[in-house]
A = this chain, B = another copy of it.
Amino acid sequence: MRLLHEQNIEDIALGAAVLGTGGGGDPYIGKVMAREAIRQYGPVELWTLDEFDDDDLIVPSAGIGAPAVLTEKLPSGDDMIHAFKALGKYMGKPPRATMSIEAGGLNSIMPIYVAARLQIPMLDSDGMGRAFPEIQLTIFTTYGISATPLAMADERGNTVIMETIDNYWTERFARSVVGDMGAMGMMALYGATIAQLKEASLPGTITYAEDIGRTVRLARINEESPVDAVREAVGGFLIFTGKITDVDRRIEGGWNLGDCKMEGVDDFAGRNLLLNFQNEHLAVRVDGEFAATVPDLITVLDIDTGEPITTEALRYGMRVAVIAFPCHEKWRTPAGLELANPRYFGYDVDYIPVEERYRS
């Protein structure tokens, strides 16, 4: 067990936004919410899997929707607490702790907020080691853990609870409901025991995110390249540096969808890049050839500050570095790839691990 104070949260939010591959929500909003909660309720206890009992119930806390909406519609926080409590009541058993469903600026921080307000621990693990745009796209699913019962709440006071026959149905219903809620809702879901999570989650993701964030912070202080610091921290590849020349985006089906085009600068001068996203970056092509795809991670960083740029913040004229890096090995199992291969997202290409593409 260790305590998360404000500086930890700053670092986690930055590192999780790197792992969030453009999605998982704006880190700024999550930070503000978690910071206020910690100021009011004290630091949050981050526990490892081994510090719990095997039959302790853990319930992740997360936002769902089109993150772009957050800039117009701030989560109240009460909605998140409302969803979490509704699920505990429905399950007839109060959760022992909360955790992240995914890495991401908001969705790594939301559990810190819940833990602070409800005075419960947070588990240092998550369900993706990255962010993905659909509920069923978790390592939990590959281990047969049900996303339901799930509780969703909006800031008006509406609550929806569902129990579905599989996690695809959960995604389907939740996506419709979040559309009605104004493209943003808060969820408690994927309740599981520590015994289940010992095999079905990705231990240490929060600490890993914090390490990445700290590395960037120190690089800035030491006037080293924050982009290089990220690349080294994640064991990744610099696949492009360029200037954004076009962003085509739309909010559809409760997601931010779109494409971003870049023209190369420095070593990449004369080359071009196409990035596709659905809340998260899904695939990137350089000069028309795939350079990286899901489930590997693709992150866009401000070329000077190393700050990760979420899909909703991509703007014409920004100078950015694009880094790709390997996903967790659990995504590379047959079950992981069946769930999150490039073809599932509509790309007519087989998954090739990014380190194989860049081995030469």
A residues contacting B by CB (< 8 A) are 90, 156-165, 169, 172-173, 176-177, 179-180
Question: Can you tell how many copies of this chain the complex includes?
Answer: 2
Which of B90, B157, B173 is within 8 Å of A160, CB to CB?
A: B173
CB <8 Å contact, A173 and B164: no
> Which residues of B are found within 8 Å of A176, using beta-carbon distances?
176-177, 179-180
CB <8 Å contact, A161 and B158: no
Which of B158, B164, B165, B172 is within 8 Å of A162, CB to CB?
A: B158
Residue of B nearest to A158 (CB): B164
* Given A173-B180, A180-B172, also A161-B161 (CB < 8 A): yes
What are 13 inter-chain pairs, A to B, with CB distance below 8 A? Answer: A90-B161, A156-B169, A157-B165, A158-B162, A158-B164, A158-B165, A158-B173, A161-B162, A169-B180, A172-B180, A173-B180, A176-B177, A176-B179
> Which residues of B are found within 8 Å of A156, using beta-carbon distances?
165, 169
CB distance from A65 to the nearest CB of B (A): 14
A90 to B158, CA, bound (A): 16
11 A-B pairs besides A156-B169, A158-B165, A160-B173 with CB distance below 8 A are A156-B165, A158-B169, A158-B173, A159-B163, A160-B160, A160-B162, A161-B161, A173-B177, A176-B177, A176-B179, A176-B180
CB distance from A292 to the nearest CB of B (A): 33
A173 to B160, CA, bound (A): 8
> Which residues of B are found within 8 Å of A162, using beta-carbon distances?
158-161
> Which residues of B are found within 8 Å of A172, using beta-carbon distances?
180
Residue of B nearest to A90 (CB): B90
A73 to B319, CA, bound (A): 55
> Which residues of B are found within 8 Å of A177, using beta-carbon distances?
173, 176-177
> Which residues of B are found within 8 Å of A90, using beta-carbon distances?
90, 161
> Which residues of B are found within 8 Å of A169, using beta-carbon distances?
156, 158, 180
A177 to B173, CA, bound (A): 6
A256 to B158, CA, bound (A): 27
A30 to B102, CA, bound (A): 46
Residue of B nearest to A161 (CB): B161
CB distance from A182 to the nearest CB of B (A): 11
Kindly name the residue among A90, A159, A160, A164 whose own CB sees the greatest number of chain B CB atoms within 10 A.
Answer: A160
Which of B157, B160, B165, B180 is within 8 Å of A161, CB to CB?
A: B160
CB distance from A134 to the nearest CB of B (A): 14
A165 to B157, CA, bound (A): 6
CB <8 Å contact, B158 and A163: yes
Residue of B nearest to A170 (CB): B158
> Which residues of B are found within 8 Å of A179, using beta-carbon distances?
176
A162 to B159, CA, bound (A): 6
Residue of B nearest to A153 (CB): B163
> Which residues of B are found within 8 Å of A160, using beta-carbon distances?
160-162, 173
A162 to B154, CA, bound (A): 12
> Which residues of B are found within 8 Å of A180, using beta-carbon distances?
169, 172-173, 176
Residue of B nearest to A160 (CB): B162
